[in-house]
Each structure stands twice: as structure tokens, then as C-alpha cells.
Amino acid sequence: MAARRFVLIGEAEARLLEPGSTVELEPGGHVTPLAWDTLRARRITVVPAGTIDPTIPPDLAPVAPARRVAIGADHTGVGLKQDLVAHLRRSGTLVHDVGTFSTEPVDYPDIAREVGRAVVRREADAGIVIDGAGLGSAIAANKIRGVRAATCATPTLARYAREHNGANVLTLGATLVTPAEACDIVDVWLATPIREARYLRRLVKIRRLEDAF
């Protein structure tokens, strides 16, 4: 189904749109400040007219900005997870913490599975998994159909992971980033949309790989 197009989006129009949907704004179009607040709260993405390819499945692009986050960590990432949970909740993000909650050893694939499931079941807009380096969690999460997990150590990588690759799960290495760095990475990652049709078409090919093997 083609996205709806607008020249003007006011508060009344914003409230009538389907939560989580994407709409197009005509060149020279305008969104009122109050409407922007409503669009963000309803997780509605606004893109320039002509951006959307109607042949691309509407559920490919991750929600941006993400307002519901599933987060988990193995024993090495518990401290960093606590810092991120507090940071996200201060910003008004709804956080589902899947554990672990102590420094007793646990296996990162189990945590990655819980976060990945929440994302593909649409119980969360995005997922975050933390282990020592972030690599093992990315490998594990990417075994779940529909998950596109990326390990990011800088805000620039986080932006690329979302804007170019449509990553819906972020993995972090607790031994590689400070809490302040992790907060910056997460903020950029959650806010960055994927909008260009060429990037979305590549996600279609990734989905086909999942179906083929």
C-alpha cells in the first residue's frame, strides 16, 4: 500500500494516522510543532515525497525514533546496562530489561535470544544487547529471522548501522566503551531513520537470504 502524502500535517491529521506508519511530505510541505510531538509519540515516520517504493514491504524499516526498547546483558555488561536503562528512562523511553541482574556468569546467546525475540515480535521497537565486546551477541542475535544486529563502538557507526543497514538490534562491548560513550551511541542509533529506497531494497535482499538458507 502506498504511503499517504501531505502538504500540511497538523495535530488533527497526526492523531488520525496509524501508529508506527510512514507518510510522505510534499516538497515545500509543513508539519506543525504540535503535530511533530504527536507523530513522535505515535512512532510515525515522515519522509520526503517520492522516497517510498511501494514494492518494499512496510515492516522492513525499523521504527525511528524508537520509543520502546528491549535491553539485556550478560554478566560482563550488567553495570553498563544499568547506566543505559537509567539514561533511557530519563528520556521517556519505555524499557524492558530482560536481564541478567547479577554478576553470576550467564551465556550471551540466551540474552541475545530474548532481546531479538522481543524485536521480531514487535514487543519492542529496537533492542540492545551488551557483552564483553559486543561481537558474540551480534552473531547470536543475527541467527533470529528478522533481526539485523550491529556492533557499534562510535556514534558514526551507530548512524550508519541504522541509516544504511536498518539495524534493529544494537550490540555493545562493555569493555570497549564508557557509559557516557554508550549513551551517545544509543541516542544516535535510536533516533536515526532509514529512509532511502536503495537501502530498503538491500534489506529485501537480506530477507531473501534468510528465506533461502
Res 2 pLDDT > 70? no
CATH class of 68-191: alpha beta
Q: How far are the Cα atoms of 42, 67, 132 from residue 12, in angstroms, in the given order?
A: 13, 22, 47
Domain with CATH 3.40.1400.10 in the chain: 68-191
Does the pTM of the predicted model rise above 0.75?
Answer: yes
User: What is the Cβ-side half-sphere exposure of residue 121, based on CA atoms within 13 angstroms?
Assistant: 8
Mean pLDDT of the chain: 92
Res 155 pLDDT > 90? yes
pLDDT score of 53: 66
Cα-atom radius of gyration of the chain, to the nearest Å?
Answer: 17
Cell of residue 49, nine digits: 515525497
The dihedrals phi and psi of 126, each to the nearest 5 degrees, come to -155, 160
Residue 47 pLDDT grade (very low, low, confident, very high; cuts 50, 70, 90)? confident
Ordered alpha helix ranges (H), the chain: 11-16, 33-41, 78-90, 108-120, 135-141, 155-163, 179-191, 197-212
